[in-house]
A and B are shown apart, each in its own frame.
Chain A
């Protein structure tokens, strides 16, 4: 099944951020019945003095060892570590870095036992096994503020249940592009091979990672967010309702069979979208009109 949710505060700015983490925890908690394998969040439009926020996870060694390895790897490329928080296997890193993000991403990708959950100028991904409440308790999600964000509760169908296969998926090596997805892609292997032939490296065996890479690649080649979403309706085969978060925008797309649910509510200040209205009601107190995007429909919001 799976559940997706997104929230966009129209009047928020990185300087005057909204409680995105708190909103997403509420929305995803109300949809826990749609998937209890794992829960994940992207909080975007955060305020930071650093150039880059990096979230990664290391398997099977102590936090000190990982931290030392990561410090060493990024320093070699001229990045300055502003701060490094290690919590269990998880590392949150603020960097000052003037080089190319793909180069730094590549260096981290090459490190054994390390999975990069996100790299962004002003956004980050937090994902873990368990429900939204579990993940919030472990990672203090409720404290993260920004302009918008997307989230996901997972009931795994297409790949294994572990932390790295939780959503959102970051579009390695493109900063700030992340995706949450409800559905299955049937031309995943074919498209994945196409990107791999062009030299792209995937981090997981999950079809949703492909959507993130697809969109980021389109946008890097000059397409708008909306244009990229529209193109995906033709190029991606299967059932999908997905949300994408970029540095300053959020969007959603629904396949041509209208196979997966999505409802939206919008006021002058806030847009919220989710698989179910029950999630929208967790952030809107009163009954307000909602819309249901139909087949092959695309919506975008940007600041």
Chain B
């Protein structure tokens, strides 16, 4: 495990060091991030990164493979475009957490801001607390699990994917509808909670697309080849 002091590195240098360590199979610990933007972005192989403190915008974005633990808050766009791997944030995330993520898992221990999981294309976004306005806006695939309450317009204009909300929600978004969750599904969701140390097994409201708004081919290129 190699300690990197963000205070004495530019963001470009810091990210370069993290990538070099990942290539050498070593874990990185980042100290003094001081809520700076773009920390730990673009790492494309499995590795472990621990960030001791809050991060700014687009941190841990464009990742494929790493497991990242962040002790603190994150600004807008945490985990944007995650392909695979895991991101775990101990406190609150700003707006647009996990925007356009395609795989892997993003866990927010506290609350998430507006537009959590906007345009998600796969994977799981788990919010331990509440999520804000327009949760799952234009979501296309994957699942969002909110253990607390969700704000107004949940699942607005979503195409596919599932949003589970344990608490209350302000209102359903355009073309979003509530469906009964099967026992099998709930077991799966509870299993995800358990992995993050959440022992409770609340009932979840399942929100999906009513599919009255769109008429598009929802298969990915590779899926189409397989059909």
A contact set with B: CB distance below 8 Å = 33, 257-258, 261, 263, 276-278, 280-281, 287, 289-292, 294-295
Contacts and interface: CB of A to CB of B under 8 A. Distances in A.
A303 to B, nearest CB: 28
B94 A263 contact: yes
Contacts of A263: 75, 94
Contacts of B115: 258
A281 B111 CA distance: 20
Q: Which of B35, B56, B92, B152 has the most CB of A within 10 A?
A: B35
B54 interface: yes
Contacts of B91: 289
A297 to B, nearest CB: 10
A258 B54 contact: no
Nearest to A290: B73
Given A258-B113, A287-B72, 6 more contacts: A261-B76, A261-B95, A280-B35, A290-B73, A290-B92, A294-B132
B2 interface: no
A271 B56 CA distance: 20
B114 interface: yes
B1 interface: no
A294 B92 CA distance: 13
Contacts of A278: 34-37, 56, 75
B92 A295 contact: no
A280 B152 CA distance: 28
Nearest to A291: B92
Contact of A292 (B36, B37, B54, B94): B94
B33 to A, nearest CB: 9
A277 B73 contact: yes
A290 B54 CA distance: 10
Interface string B38-59: 0000000000000001101100
Contacts of B65: none
- 8 closest A-B pairs by beta carbon, nearest first, are A277-B35, A258-B114, A278-B35, A295-B133, A281-B35, A281-B34, A258-B133, A292-B113
Contacts of A281: 34-35, 54
Nearest to A292: B113
B148 interface: no
A294 B114 contact: yes
Interface in B74-107: 75-76, 91-92, 94-95
A290 B111 CA distance: 11
B64 to A, nearest CB: 26
A275 to B, nearest CB: 10
Nearest to A295: B133
A287 B132 contact: no
27 contacts: A33-B37, A258-B95, A258-B134, A276-B35, A276-B37, A276-B57, A277-B54, A277-B73, A277-B75, A278-B36, A278-B75, A280-B35, A281-B34, A281-B35, A287-B53, A287-B72, A289-B91, A290-B73, A292-B92, A292-B111, A292-B113, A292-B132, A294-B113, A294-B114, A294-B132, A294-B133, A295-B151
Contacts of A258: 95, 113-115, 132-134
A261 B75 CA distance: 9
Contacts of B37: 33, 276, 278
Contacts of A295: 114, 132-133, 151-152
Interface in B91-150: 91-92, 94-95, 111, 113-115, 132-134
Contacts of B36: 278
Q: Which of A261, A280, A287, A292 has the most CB of B within 10 A?
A: A292
A46 to B, nearest CB: 30
Contacts of B113: 258, 292, 294
B16 to A, nearest CB: 20
Q: Which of A257, A276, A277, A294 has the most CB of B within 10 A?
A: A277
Contacts of B133: 257-258, 294-295
A292 B35 CA distance: 14
B156 to A, nearest CB: 12
Nearest to A278: B35
B70 to A, nearest CB: 11
B35 to A, nearest CB: 4
Contacts of A257: 133
Nearest to B110: A289
B75 A276 contact: yes
Contacts of B56: 276-278
Contacts of A276: 35, 37, 56-57, 75
A277 B91 CA distance: 13
Contacts of B132: 258, 292, 294-295
Contacts of B75: 261, 263, 276-278
Interface string B12-46: 00000000000000000000001111000000000
Nearest to A33: B37
